[in-house]
A and B are shown apart, each in its own frame.
Chain A
Amino acid sequence: MTLLFINARLIDPEAGTDSLGALLVQDGTITEVLPAGTEPGQLFRARNIDTNSVEIIDCDGKCLAPGIVDIGVKVCEPGERHKESYKTAGLAAAAGGVTTIVTRPDTAPAIDSPETLEFVTRRAQADAPVHVLPMAALTKGRDGREMTEIGFLMDAGAVAFSDCDHVVSNTKVFSRALTYARSCGALVIAHPQEPLLSAGAAATSGKFAALRGLPAVSPMAERMGLDRDIALLEMTGAKYHADQITTARALPALERAKANGLDITAGTSIHHLTLNELDVADYRTFFKVKPPLRSEDDRLAVAEAVRTGLIDTISSMHTPQDEESKRLPFEEAAAGAVALETLLPAAMRLYHADLLDLPTLFRALALNPAKRLGLASGRLAAGAPADLVLFDPDMPFVMDRFQLKSKSQNTPYDGQRMQGRVLATYVTGAPVYRRD
């Protein structure tokens, strides 16, 4: 099967370009990036392609970019399938232009053994239309005491190891896990946070939290957690990714660690890039995320760090929660927001606000996460898999959470005006989503 995308606005994060052109896909792989004005008939003759098995897709000047690689998606299997299953998460991902989801192990029970990992891999392969790559827990039960069978779990397909929002507070346990992970070549993804300082916090300390009377954590807790982890990386030489950097105060430490040659990368979440603490307003629990939303100054500093490349990746941090766990007083309500389907439209806010251009956004959404995981995707280049998203960056709409494909509809963007919609999503050359 051959696909030819013509009249496409190609977003190439590797070259940093945003220009019109065409893209040839054969048997699920990108085989050629072509200049604008390529004449299909001529091309097929020159390449000796049988025109009977060809589909020509006229993109009408809309954007064609590598599909999003989303590190840190929570699918609630096993344990809470009523919140999200592999099927619904996969459909949501396809509708959001996400072609690879890297799933979190913070399920109930945690994905901490090869057997559980094999179970979820089977479920994912059977049900999800996009690539699903599982992460496994770094410690058993995510309780920070004993490391998991990192070697066996890698053999079973784990692409990274993380205790998610549980910080391994025992430094000795964490340093051993990092040392062992290094010997396996495993990537460890950690949540930089000083857990005792942030215990019980529902907001970021400041005027707003004081006014609302919410228990709050200083943004400094993130830097303290990152500082500790960086010191452990110097000790162990492990391969490390910070899941979410959300504060300006943490950035200089990250910059120094990178300059010192440590194997460290960092991500941030789309919510921290597009929302701030004031969005919580009158205790709106859909805006409760972990870590809590930050000040506007922090948001802008983090966006700038994505622009310079100091922060490598942007994730949805997709966290489905049912109505019951959100319809509670703010302090008691569960944290997290669904975001697979809103990731791209929300990211377009940064584009329309002139904070980030499209190649930079897709560097953080697709290229960098793929590179960090050693995947060939995330690029618009010959030889890369044809994981693609076709989208209109300008199309306006009002977000209606009940239209989401996720089983849970806890999105903070409900009712908001947004711009940018996915028109079609392709996974290894096969269409998995088409907007009607």
Chain B
Amino acid sequence: MSSPTSPPLSPTGFGHRHLLGIEPLKPHEITAILDLADSYVDLNRRPEKHSDALAGLTQINMFFENSTRTQASFEIAGKRLGADVMNMAMQASSIKKGETLIDTAMTLNAMHPDLLVVRHPHSGAVDLLAQKVNCAVLNAGDGRHEHPTQALLDALTIRRAKGRLHRLNIAICGDVAHSRVARSNLILLGKMENRIRLIGPPTLVPGQFAEFGAEIYDDMREGLKDVDVVMMLRLQKERMDGGFIPSEREYFHRYGLDAEKLSHAKPDAIVMHPGPMNRGVEIDGTLADDINRSVIQEQVEMGVAVRMAAMDLLAQNLRAERSATAD
């Protein structure tokens, strides 16, 4: 999936033209993003939150699927770095008129954007689009495939809470089957040498995930034993064509995270959720708000910083590539 045109010797230590997934990244590239993101966390906490890293560049957010949080996060990230940001709500526009994804991409490409942030309901659609444009493409989630910035922001949250991003026991719980967040996290946390457990009913945690090196549990208490990090996933009701779980109340009873189930994890285990939460379905509302255990708000904060870092690195590569071809 790494682009053949990626700059071979990047000045940034991040050798890719696009950020399409975690799969093509090397561990040191993940670290490079997280290190830079750390500095943007500091910037974002200052009263004056502005940098000129993306000044003069145009960022277009194309969301073929509804999103409030991710789109807002990318928009703020771009604006804080000085980019000209435009949002396109694609589900409302040309798709309805029958234009194909590639035509849409070609049309946008003709407007010379520099950064394209894309979310699409089908796996692989962002890869396809990236092949047809001249700018840097960031995958903001494609189908059930990958959601790389989410995995990176989760990694940054873990690294800041636990002081490291390796040799941790991490449980990913719930609807793994429909989750691009779970796939990207599984790949990233695996690359950084953590032990990963997947916990959920077998209809939502298919056995083939064991081949990724994860341990699979269908019992929440057993699976949570001695873990350092508990990542909850949203039950993706909109992606289900029926019959994965008998009811939400039974799901909450068996797999919803509450204080009792969490007591099986390490006493200092942190609780994460990519949002938006279904309170009372996969997570108990009180627990989600418990600032001693839940880092859900930090995740949102890290999201902006990680997206700033990723766009900064891609923009540096883009500028290096352009000055190289201009010579």
Contacts and interface: CB of A to CB of B under 8 A. Distances in A.
A334 B146 CA distance: 23
Contacts of B241: 200
Interface stretch (B117-125, B248-256, B300-308): B117-125
Interface residues of A, number: 20
Interface in B164-187: 180, 183
A213 B100 contact: no
Interface string B118-148: 0010111101100000000000001111100
B247 interface: no
Interface stretch (A11-19, A150-158, A204-212): A204-212
B68 interface: no
Interface in B10-68: 23
Contact of B122 (A205, A206, A330): A330
B19 to A, nearest CB: 15
A327 B146 CA distance: 21
A331 B122 contact: yes
A331 B142 CA distance: 12
Where chain A touches its partner, the secondary structure class is loop
Contacts of A328: 100-102, 128
A362 B260 CA distance: 67
A283 interface: yes
B129 to A, nearest CB: 9
Interface residues of B, number: 25
A329 interface: yes
Given A213-B143, A213-B146, A331-B123, A283 B100 contact: no
Nearest to A209: B208
B145 A210 contact: no
Contact of B124 (A207, A212, A327): A212
B10 to A, nearest CB: 21
A214 interface: yes
A332 B143 CA distance: 12
Contacts of A324: 100
Given A200-B241, A213-B143, A213-B146, A332 B122 contact: yes
B146 A283 contact: no
A329 B124 contact: yes
A185 B144 CA distance: 48
Contacts of A283: 123-124, 127-128
Contacts of A210: 183, 206, 208-209, 211-212
A282 B127 CA distance: 8
B72 interface: no
A214 B206 CA distance: 13
A329 B183 contact: no
A213 B183 contact: yes
A229 B56 CA distance: 65
A327 B102 contact: yes
B1 interface: yes
A207 B212 contact: yes
A213 B142 contact: yes
B80 to A, nearest CB: 31
Interface in B81-132: 100-102, 120, 122-125, 127-128
Contacts of A205: 206, 208
A76 to B, nearest CB: 20
B199 to A, nearest CB: 17
Interface string B194-232: 000000000000101101100000000000000000000
Minimum-distance CB pairs A-B, first 7: A283-B124, A213-B145, A213-B144, A329-B125, A329-B122, A213-B123, A207-B211
26 contacts: A200-B241, A205-B208, A207-B208, A207-B211, A210-B208, A211-B23, A212-B123, A212-B145, A213-B123, A213-B146, A213-B183, A282-B1, A283-B123, A283-B124, A283-B128, A324-B100, A327-B100, A327-B102, A329-B122, A329-B123, A329-B124, A330-B122, A330-B124, A331-B122, A331-B123, A331-B143
Given A209-B208, A283-B128, A329-B120, 7 more contacts: A200-B241, A210-B206, A213-B143, A215-B144, A329-B143, A331-B122, A332-B122
Interface of A: 200, 205-207, 209-215, 282-283, 324, 327-332
